[in-house]
Structure 1
Amino acid sequence: MLSLMAVDDDPLSLDLVQDALALMGLHILTALNGAQARRVFAKSRPQIVILDLMLPDVSGLVLLSEILQMAPDTDVILLTGHYTPESAVEAIRDGACDYLTKPLKIGALRARVKELIHDAQQRQQALRLEGELLEANRFQGMVGRSPQMLALFALIKRVAPHFRVALVRGATGTGKELAAQALHASSPAATGPFVIANCSAITETLFESEMFGHMKGSFTGATNDKKGLFEAANGGTLFLDELGDLPPAMQSKLLRAIQQQEIKPVGSTATKKVSVRVVAATNRPLEAMMRTGAFREDLYYRLSMVEIFVPGLAERMEDFPFLVRHFVAQFAADYGKKLSGMTPRAQALLARHDWPGNVRELENAIGSACMMAYGEFVDEQDLPPFFQRQAGPALITAPPAGVELLSLELLNQRHARAVLEHFEGNKSKAAKVLGVTRSTLYRLLGEG
């Protein structure tokens, strides 16, 4: 059941609101001052608030700001006994959804609350549908519904049952390791180990020991027999991350182990057979490296029997809302917080960034924001400082000579009409894109 909180220092006004809205299917809460309102709101998080502008202990505008910081999607109606156009504009600018005068007109109040109930129910339904859609567009830990990601999922499903070697390519932070894990999880070796080798961190002198193992006493410091990564991955998959960082001398030794499926530990005279699927990943330009001799052609052709490209985030922005929801849910669970999502204004701010670090950069930004968030939704002020700086007002320059100067009201009206025309008169879609309720859209159009 949706809930509504009425805040007024006049008990008779609170009784009037309760009586007027008693049959609208709402759980109605009341508060006589700002301190009570804070406690009630923090405990119950009502979807709708009717708030008197003049309270004995706090300004209604201050309380409005506090409520919207805690729950930015709350619909707040401000009440006043002294209406002025300036105060109405200030209230709407500060986030109120409407501004009504006392004495309250019961019919107008019921009509407005009925609209807000409908809007709140639609938001709740949208959140449920988004959650279902997110679940429908997950694949082995990856999230996406863009054509690029659907093609990637389909390719992994096709090759996973059969591959022995594969090469995953893509820019830094795109999720190459997730693609490798998906290959492993969808393959017949899924019950075997998935072992990660960071090729950029292995020195040339220790390469054979790390990859193939060593025998006790084979070199100074070899106090025990040690399994290498190939043997550790026996029966499963070995993921060679940052393959392009390997020097050519190490590449030749790696090629033999992949081709022959056998290894010889350092200090041993006998070889060991292994059964290992190998997935290599790189963000390096291997074709250019082959031309300069920095990467072996035979290793490239061996690995590229199956070649998978993971797109960058800028190429799959259709997935952005799903990734945001996925990461908010992930970090909410990690941090033990009750986070329902991210506000549209915070999400719009993130969407303007070009994401050179791809999904990893987005994950880190949302992880930081979830850590800072104290309300139900992640909002602008929770984002890392870099994004908050981008939220500042745009630089306004003087219009060129001859350009018609318009009032803000007329400019908003023209923009609203242009959006409405784009959607062929569909007011619901236009209101959603503009980020306003239908009643606000009517006012923008001059019809309210």
Structure 2
Amino acid sequence: MRLLPRSMRARVTLVTAVGAVGALALCLTLLYAALDRQLWDAIDAGLAGRAGDLAAALEVGDTAALADDPLAQLYGPGGDLLAGSAALPNQRLLTPEQVRQVGDVTLTTRTLRAGEDGGPIPVRLLSERVGPSGGVLTVGVSAEPVHAARNRLAIVLFLAAPLLAGALAAGAWAVVRTALRPVDALTREAAIISSLESDSRLPEVPGEDEIARLAHTLNDMLARLGVAAERERAFVDDASHELRTPIAVLRGELELALDAIGDDREVEESLRAALEEADRLSRLADDLLLLARARTGALVVRTEAVDLLDLAVAEARRLGPALGVRIEASGDPVVVNADPERLRQVLANLARNSAAAGATTVRVQVAHDRETATVQVADDGPGFPPGLLDAAFARFTRGDDARSGAGAGLGLSIVQAVVSAHGGTVSARNGDPLGGAVVTARLALP
């Protein structure tokens, strides 16, 4: 069973109304109690004044003042009625027992048959000890005006409370409706935006409140998602383009092999060329898979203790003759927790990029500080083109023909993906120590 309405507007209004009703009930109760107390204080103050006047008159022996009072009686210490108002010939305001219980000043409320028709009415009585003998003087006044005022006040408050609660609820509804109107507009516009290919944005909300910040944040998110979608489309386009060339070459070589059946040498050359293109397709597929796993956070790296200097020296000996460049490895022995195969892939990609750019010397420098291990790969080639440096690690990013070579432009993207999977960072620049491209990878020390 659902206790709250589905609409936020209705929920906020309901909560506001319930809270307002509670606060209103508390305030009206306190108001009623305060006014009731003031009424009784006014009556008690009047009784005290009358009792003081009568006590002063009795001290000088003036009992006529007691007889002229509308509601007053004088009792002896034992409770005997000594004198009283002419309006009370046969009634006592206090019983003998009540007289004996009177202290200095005692206030009580009783019901007496003192009405005009002899009916019972509530009276307020003030009793106090007077005289050296310890007699008791009691004065009274009808409490009907107080009771009537209390009843009228209760009726007024009872009628005003629902009206005030309704007004507060209506005001809360109007305020919440006005406050949430921009949210309705944002919802309608968001429903219209059907895909990230659209350049549509949510309407700007004036002001600097939470809803305005929400609209601004959502528009920024849509912009970022649009950029990401555009990059994905570019990635698919670039991947399709890169795959089309080796497939076309592979198809052509196989067709040549078929046409050259009978010429063993021609068939062998065509098949070898086809095998090279198949190897290229395989490497491209592996690279794309690695980048896809890195993007989803699923790139798995196994960690073990690796000495970066030993690894760099071994790769320099292996890659130098294969790439036709001189590779120097030097620095400090540094042990990190990493995947050695992935780190070899990083060094190999960087060395291939340098060789493809026309470099003759590649220098690998290993260093460390208290928290970070650094592997710097520099070459003496032409360096990164000025327009490429900021996007050097983007997928399918290649410079001029001299630097791009025959690669697909994924080498540096893979370097960044592998280093990031190890919790490290990578950066690129041009300049010292050899004047060409410089790529620096940083890994955390264990």
- Larger relative contact order (CA 8 Å, sep ≥ 6): 1
TM-score, normalised to structure 1's length? Answer: 0.20
The structure in which a higher percent of residues are helix is 2
Bigger-Rg structure (1/2): 2
| TM-score, normalization by structure 2 | 0.20
